[in-house]
């Protein structure tokens, strides 16, 4: 099965009406191989379909998010970034100092998800998100600076 056929079948199974514009938007994101802003996706789309406007990209991304085919994350850059939903869910650790991004698996959050449900009756959406802090190297550098000042 070709990639376009696979994309089309996935969208149809999710109840998504397929148009040429939607297909090219999904193709741009899926083959981007990274997190992309709506503007970056629109830029890719315009190479093939120059008349697809940014509002069409946003509406398509919103529909894909509701179907959990696409995730969105604020990675600290000021833009929401989109990613074709990976087979295995993952989350991001983002260093506030150097900007390094590491992916981690959902196992780090299972206990939190379970406790929220058991103790508060809250079913958390733990699908995809970012955690900000300091990476090991930036923490070590900050601690060394603190030691030098003491």
Is residue 127 part of an annotated ligand binding site? Answer: yes
Q: Which of 19-28's residues contact partners 24+ apart within 8 Å by CB, and which partners?
A: 20/49, 21/45, 21/49, 21/52, 21/56, 21/60, 22/60, 24/48, 24/49, 24/52, 25/52, 25/56, 25/57, 25/60, 25/61, 26/60, 26/64, 26/69, 26/84, 27/3
Q: Judge whether 3 is annotated as a binding position.
A: no
* 3-state SS, residue 74: strand
Determine whether the annotation assigns residue 138 to a binding site.
Answer: yes
46 is in an annotated binding site: no
Q: Which residues are annotated as a binding site for Fe cation?
A: 127
Q: Which residues are annotated as a binding site?
A: 95, 98, 127, 135, 138
- Binding site for Zn(2+): residue ranges? 95, 98, 135, 138
């Amino acid at each position: 099965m070709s990639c376009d056929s696979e994309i089309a079948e996935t969208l149809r199974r999710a109840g998504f009406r397929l148009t040429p514009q939607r297909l090219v938007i999904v193709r741009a994101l899926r083959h981007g191989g990274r997190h992309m802003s709506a503007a970056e996706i629109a830029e890719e789309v315009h190479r093939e379909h120059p008349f697809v406007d940014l509002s069409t990209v946003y509406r398509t991304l919103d529909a894909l998010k509701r179907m959990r085919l696409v995730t969105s994350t604020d990675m600290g850059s000021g833009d929401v970034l989109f990613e074709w939903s990976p087979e295995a869910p993952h989350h991001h650790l983002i260093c506030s100092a150097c900007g390094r991004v590491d992916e981690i698996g959902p196992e780090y959050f299972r206990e939190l998800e379970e406790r929220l449900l058991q103790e508060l009756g809250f079913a958390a959406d733990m699908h995809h998100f970012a955690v900000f802090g300091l990476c090991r190297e930036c923490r070590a550098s900050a601690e060394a600076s603190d030691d030098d000042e003491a």
